């Protein structure tokens, strides 16, 4: 899962990004509304965390432009503005959730997971595919009832496939969701990760769709 974090307090942004990466998220950080707006409009993200009081462009105008352009990524507003009118304005602009500073970063993580899960069409936290179970709220995997240990890259690929089980996920889609914007991506990196996952969960659960990408399937 890849998240866009738009926050002008660089110390706070670094702390949030560090916590998200520790939970296997890929994170791109923008410290002003102009850069954040551009990234959200041109890059693929599973969700965005957006401050309102940003330099160059305020968060509400950034969000309105995303929605006007048809960008439907889930957006969690993170702001010190706690008045009812500010919250109403945020939701009218297209926010999916609203969290007031100060906050616990664990709550940011839990809210983001819920937003991503619901955006993928899953009302319940537990997502299953054959012997594989993904707790999308806690971010944990089990295989045949036992905990599954994954690297951050493996987790990002498998969670993306799991939330879209039985649907072909384009290879380019996976690359964009696995790596941060400044990453140097090797041409066969996704194939390497898929190979490692097949060794961990079995060769038949991840199906290669030639010329397109991959599908997680429980078979028939």
Segment 46-73, tens digit of pLDDT:
999 999 999 999 999 999 999 999 999 9
pLDDT band at 81 (very low <50, low <70, confident <90, very high): confident
Q: What mean pLDDT, rounded, does the chain reach?
A: 93
What is the pLDDT confidence band of residue 219, given thresholds at 50, 70 and 90? low
Q: What's the number of CA atoms in the CB half-sphere (13 Å) around residue 137?
A: 8
Mean pLDDT of 82-103: 90
Task: Give the mean model confidence (pLDDT) for residues 88-100.
Answer: 93
- What backbone torsions phi and psi does residue 154 show, to the nearest 5 degrees? -60, -40
Question: What is the number of helices (H) and of strands (E) in the chain?
Answer: 8, 12
Torsion on CA atoms 83, 10, 107, 5, rounded to nearest 10: 90
CA of residue 175 relative to chain centroid, distance: 13
Query: 197 pLDDT exceeds 90?
Result: yes
pLDDT category of residue 176 using cuts at 50, 70 and 90: confident
Residue in 24, 43, 125, 40 with CA at minimum distance from that of residue 76: 40
Structure confidence at residue 180 as a pLDDT band (50, 70, 90)? confident
pLDDT band at 102 (very low <50, low <70, confident <90, very high): confident
What pLDDT, on the 0 to 100 scale, is given for residue 85?
A: 86
Question: What number is the average pLDDT over the span 198-217?
Answer: 94
């Amino acid at each position: 899962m890849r998240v866009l974090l738009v926050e002008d307090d660089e110390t706070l942004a670094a702390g949030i990004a560090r916590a998200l990466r520790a939970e296997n998220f890929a994170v791109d950080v923008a410290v002003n509304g102009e850069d954040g707006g551009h990234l959200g409009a041109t890059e693929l993200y599973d969700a965005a965390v957006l401050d309102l009081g940003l330099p160059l462009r305020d968060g509400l105008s950034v969000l309105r432009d995303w929605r006007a352009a048809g960008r439907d990524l889930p957006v969690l507003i993170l702001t010190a503005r706690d008045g009812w009118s500010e919250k109403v304005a945020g939701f009218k602009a297209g926010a999916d959730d609203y969290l007031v500073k100060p906050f616990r970063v664990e709550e940011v993580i839990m809210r983001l997971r819920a937003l991503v899960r619901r955006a993928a069409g899953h009302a319940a936290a537990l997502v299953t595919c054959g012997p594989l179970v993904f707790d999308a709220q806690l971010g944990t995997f089990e295989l045949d009832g036992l905990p599954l240990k994954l690297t951050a890259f493996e987790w990002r690929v498998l969670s993306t496939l799991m939330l879209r089980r039985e649907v072909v996920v384009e290879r380019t889609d996976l690359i964009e969701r696995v790596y941060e914007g400044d990453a140097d991506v090797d041409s066969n990196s996704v194939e390497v990760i898929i190979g490692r996952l097949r060794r961990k969960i079995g060769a038949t659960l991840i199906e290669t769709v030639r010329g397109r990408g991959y599908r997680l399937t429980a078979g028939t």
